[in-house]
Structure 1
Amino acid sequence: MNNSGQNILIDLIKDNLAFYQIVFPVEGKQVSDFIDAFDRNSDLIIYHSKPSADTEYLAIGDIFHFDFSNEDLSQLDEFLLIFKDNVTAGETIENLPLFFGYTKFPSVVKEKYWNKFKDNFWVIPQYLIFNKGQNLFCAQNIFTTSAFDELDKKFIEESQNFITNIIKEEIRIKEEVRIKKLSDDDSLIWKQKVNEAIKDIKENKLQKIVLARKVNYKITGSIDWSGIFEKLNSDYSDCFNFLIKTESDYFFGSSPELLGKFEKDLFRTEALAGSINRGSDEYEDSDLALLLSASKKNKKEHDIVIEHLRENLQNHLFNIEIDETPLIKRLKNIQHLQTKISGRLKENLRYFHIIKSIFPTPAICGIPTRQSLDELKTLEGFDRGLYSGIVGAFNLFGEAEFYVAIRSALISENILTAFAGCGIVEESNPEEEFTETELKLQPIISLFSNEN
């Protein structure tokens, strides 16, 4: 962990500060309506939405954060315990997330276009706008002395007025946002990389590897983030839709893949691997789903992920339960094999020990993990950054939710970089794998007017 994170935590403990959440109602229909207003007023915003679970959060600003290298990921659990034991809890809402953030994919290659994002970053925001049923609220997070004096109350009133005024800001005129392709992996070259991966698998160097593509677009126009997420929340209501803004760069997406959900002593995860397109109607959908379930290639790819999760979770969970038969998870343009996995936690508040034991999974990296990461340096040759990393949120009451950051893109300096990958096993067909990546790019590309 970096020294600044340690020093801030030491200062909080030394000063005997208490943590408070002050909650007040705000006017509005949905949390995503406020993204653009706060985009103009804050260098750090994080938006999360899971429409099927009726949850929506907009985190703004930074009053405390941890940032550290990927190698130190599990150390965060120790600091969370210190934080919980030494920072007095004043008034807090138990089921609200407290920390929001991300972890990058552990790419061997490092590139400067990800420089504005840390390897790991988990923040307590200054403000959190959230929904509760049909009503919207704002939680203001505060560290203060145990005595809640008049100065604090005045500060709170000023902050509430500040938030209210931003929310009431007139929304700027929406304009068409256009993208034009600048560069892409040549399809023939990428398919050759798939063949190289298949060769490595046949030579028993790997069991499976996930190869990703990145496609760069020039983007013009002012992005209407509220409109973007209105569409994503409608079209991908069963996905985890997210946005992370740091300074002038944005990372966003719509992930169907749960990495881990903690509910007190219960842990849930899933194997999501093996894909096929959607049909034109219900009957074709069902026929394609049957083909997917019967596919030797897709079943093998899926089973490798299940076995990885089973093996690495057995030291952390009691009574691991795994679906006997994969389900079909249908999204707007693609179908996946999905197997749900759950168990009872042996220890509480050990989020990152467990997450580190399973991440990166073979659904986004490969198996064996170390060899796959080394091979990706050659075959992919680019820094994935936050793509296929971790996005999520957690509190100190045993509740946390983490997703794999796929179906995602980066916007930096008017360049949109969209990412998509697919699992390669011995039975893979390069042409079919390329087509699969094209399908997986659509959730992002379809949000903009494409000039190509």
Structure 2
Amino acid sequence: MIQQYMTDFESFLRNAAVPGRQTLVSWTEKISGIDPLLFFANGSSLEGERHFWYSQKDDFYLVGAGPTIMDMRSSHEWEHVIESAIVHNLSAVPGTGPVAFCGNNFQTEQLRQLWKDFPSAQYRIPAFTLTKTKANYYITINQLVDSAHVNDAVTVILEQLETLMADRTLTASPMQLTNKQELEPQVWKQLIKEATNTIRVTDLDKVVLARAMKLEFAEKLQAAAVLRNLMNSQQDSFIFAVENGSACFIGATPERLVRVEAGTLYTSCVAGTAPRGKDAVSDAEIGKALLEDSKNREEHQYVVEMITGVIRKYTDNLQLPAGPELMKLRQLQHLYTPVSADIRNGASMQQIVQELHPTPALGGLPKEKALAFIADREPLERGWYGAPIGWMDSYQNGDTAVAIRSGLLDGKQAVLFAGCGVVKDSDPELEFEETAIKFRPMLEALEVTE
């Protein structure tokens, strides 16, 4: 597979190279199939950080590996780079050609210890991207080249591709937990009380508060093994991983923020939570109660109104159901309202994402007052937790999800995150239990039994 097109790629590289100046060159080719998780695992043998994105509903994978070609700090830098890039891509399939994997902080933080390797914003183009659609597989090679180093570049690329495409059996040792610690649970419950009191006497309507759990293991955690467990257990979620330095941010989130494909925008309003039932009858009863619960419906409506209010500025033909439906996941069920619209000329996904973040489901209402409460009172260093994470391509397609149900792996340690929406009638014990349920997807992926 690789040998068949390397000669053509070498000619393309030589023709694209500019003397005395490095140029972003991108080559995409349809290939035979490879397990995307194996491609990700093989990437650990190469220099550079890895990226993983999987949407089960779309049967779509994006996996980035190899040396970082461009590491940008804003969508404007990405747009500038793409304007001058030289691209060979006969497919023009969404997610092929130059792709930037992106993520950013929830909000500005003074303390940067846990998340020291993760910048406030990141748009990264890796050397290699594997794209799997429902029908086909594609490999994209991205390089910064000049005419003086084409021969060396081709040799290195061929060696790296052979490493990434190597066929082997993925094995992993069981994850042995040595320590589990809930971080300041009583302090967090007291913070819930403080938030409800503040909501009752001010114009703050809702604030989302998060907490963390720290786990320690006998051996270094392998991101590929955790991803495999998430894919097996969280089949209705967006599964992601981003490496920076020695750390890997990983999770399975049910909540899409914005997807743009062929000029159509899709988003999800997700807010309002209940557990799953032990059997079909109890599950249906819990779901019915969730649909009829005034607190959860009010919380959900906040999210719908905020999201649609922003989207109307940039789109036409907004499609909005009359009311929410149930999104049933393995451990939880949520109130869910899907939204779609036609994006206007000149509007970009990142522009909409930046205005939407954080939605009331992740920050609160009013937005600025909720964010100020979080910054002043929440002891957690959120980093990228709860923020948009995803990808964009050079054809103005892209997808972002809200990075919840997640954890930060670093060596033998994992720090997990979970949050909940607090309104005037919130009960600290019930909110604590809700966050405990939200830890379960990552606990299960780390093979931790409660």
C-alpha distance 134-269 of structure 1, shift in aligned 2 (>3 A): closer
Deviates more, 1:408-417 or 1:241-250: 408-417
Matched residues in 2 for 1:51 and 1:12: separation? 41
**2:444 partner amino acid:** S
What does residue 200 of structure 1 align with? 198
SS at match of 2:68: coil
User: 1:118: how far off?
Assistant: 0.8
What does residue 288 of structure 1 align with? 286
Q: Quick one: which of 277, 293, 298 aligns to 2:275? A: 277
Q: Quick one: which of 445, 448, 452 aligns to 2:446? A: 448
What does residue 7 of structure 2 align with? none
**1:56 partner amino acid:** Y
2:42 aligned with 1:37, yes or no?
Answer: yes
User: 1:264: how far off?
Assistant: 2.8
Deviates more, 1:228-237 or 1:19-28: 19-28
What does residue 113 of structure 1 align with? 114
What does residue 71 of structure 2 align with? 65
C-alpha distance 288-248 of structure 1, shift in aligned 2 (>3 A): same
What does residue 398 of structure 2 align with? 400
* TM-score (normalizing by structure 1): 0.87
What does residue 229 of structure 2 align with? 231
SS at match of 1:268: strand
What does residue 262 of structure 2 align with? 264
Is the 8 Å Cα contact of residues 21 and 92 (structure 1) preserved in structure 2?
Answer: no
What does residue 55 of structure 2 align with? 50
Matched residues in 2 for 1:288 and 1:14: separation? 66
User: 1:374: how far off?
Assistant: 1.6
**1:401 partner amino acid:** D
**Paired-residue identity, %:** 21
SS at match of 1:315: coil
> Which runs of 5 or more residues in structure 2 are unaligned?
1-16
Is the 8 Å Cα contact of residues 116 and 246 (structure 1) preserved in structure 2?
Answer: yes
Is the 8 Å Cα contact of residues 31 and 58 (structure 1) preserved in structure 2?
Answer: yes
What does residue 388 of structure 2 align with? 390
**2:45 partner amino acid:** R
What does residue 342 of structure 2 align with? 344
**2:355 partner amino acid:** S
SS at match of 1:162: helix
Matched residues in 2 for 1:242 and 1:20: separation? 24
Alignment of 1:155-304 (within 5 A): 155-156=153-154, 158-168=156-166, 174-304=172-302
User: 1:314: how far off?
Assistant: 2.4
Q: What is the CA deviation profile of residues 351-392 of structure 1, one whole-angstrom value per residue up to 9, with x for unaligned ones?
A: 221111111111011111221122113432222001101110
C-alpha distance 134-234 of structure 1, shift in aligned 2 (>3 A): farther
Is the 8 Å Cα contact of residues 20 and 92 (structure 1) preserved in structure 2?
Answer: no
C-alpha distance 135-356 of structure 1, shift in aligned 2 (>3 A): closer
User: 1:129: how far off?
Assistant: 2.0
User: 1:93: how far off?
Assistant: 4.1
What does residue 31 of structure 2 align with? 25
C-alpha distance 109-301 of structure 1, shift in aligned 2 (>3 A): farther
Q: What is the CA deviation profile of residues 285-310 of structure 1, one whole-angstrom value per residue up to 9, with x for unaligned ones?
A: 11111000111110111111111112
Is the 8 Å Cα contact of residues 28 and 88 (structure 2) preserved in structure 1?
Answer: no
Is the 8 Å Cα contact of residues 127 and 139 (structure 1) preserved in structure 2?
Answer: yes
**2:326 partner amino acid:** I
What does residue 436 of structure 1 align with? 434
C-alpha distance 153-349 of structure 1, shift in aligned 2 (>3 A): farther
SS at match of 1:176: coil
Matched residues in 1 for 2:229 and 2:448: separation? 16
C-alpha distance 178-205 of structure 1, shift in aligned 2 (>3 A): farther
Matched residues in 2 for 1:12 and 1:367: separation? 52
SS at match of 1:113: coil
User: 1:284: how far off?
Assistant: 1.6
User: 1:232: how far off?
Assistant: 1.4
Is the 8 Å Cα contact of residues 185 and 214 (structure 1) preserved in structure 2?
Answer: yes
SS at match of 2:73: strand
Matched residues in 1 for 2:371 and 2:24: separation? 43
Matched residues in 1 for 2:321 and 2:418: separation? 27
What does residue 326 of structure 1 align with? 324
* TM-score (normalizing by structure 2): 0.87
Is the 8 Å Cα contact of residues 44 and 245 (structure 1) preserved in structure 2?
Answer: yes
Matched residues in 2 for 1:368 and 1:387: separation? 20
User: 1:154: how far off?
Assistant: 7.3
Is the 8 Å Cα contact of residues 13 and 86 (structure 1) preserved in structure 2?
Answer: no
Matched residues in 2 for 1:451 and 1:356: separation? 38
Equivalent pairs counted in the alignment come to 430
**1:104 partner amino acid:** N
User: 1:277: how far off?
Assistant: 0.3
SS at match of 1:230: helix
Is the 8 Å Cα contact of residues 200 and 206 (structure 1) preserved in structure 2?
Answer: yes
User: 1:181: how far off?
Assistant: 3.8
SS at match of 1:361: coil
What does residue 138 of structure 1 align with? 139
C-alpha distance 375-99 of structure 1, shift in aligned 2 (>3 A): same
What does residue 105 of structure 2 align with? 104
C-alpha distance 157-133 of structure 1, shift in aligned 2 (>3 A): farther
Matched residues in 1 for 2:292 and 2:321: separation? 17
Is the 8 Å Cα contact of residues 388 and 400 (structure 2) preserved in structure 1?
Answer: yes
Is the 8 Å Cα contact of residues 211 and 379 (structure 1) preserved in structure 2?
Answer: no
Matched residues in 1 for 2:170 and 2:326: separation? 41
Q: What is the CA deviation profile of residues 77-118 of structure 1, one whole-angstrom value per residue up to 9, with x for unaligned ones?
A: x44443343334344642243111211100444231211111
User: 1:16: how far off?
Assistant: 8.3
Matched residues in 2 for 1:129 and 1:196: separation? 48
Is the 8 Å Cα contact of residues 58 and 134 (structure 2) preserved in structure 1?
Answer: no
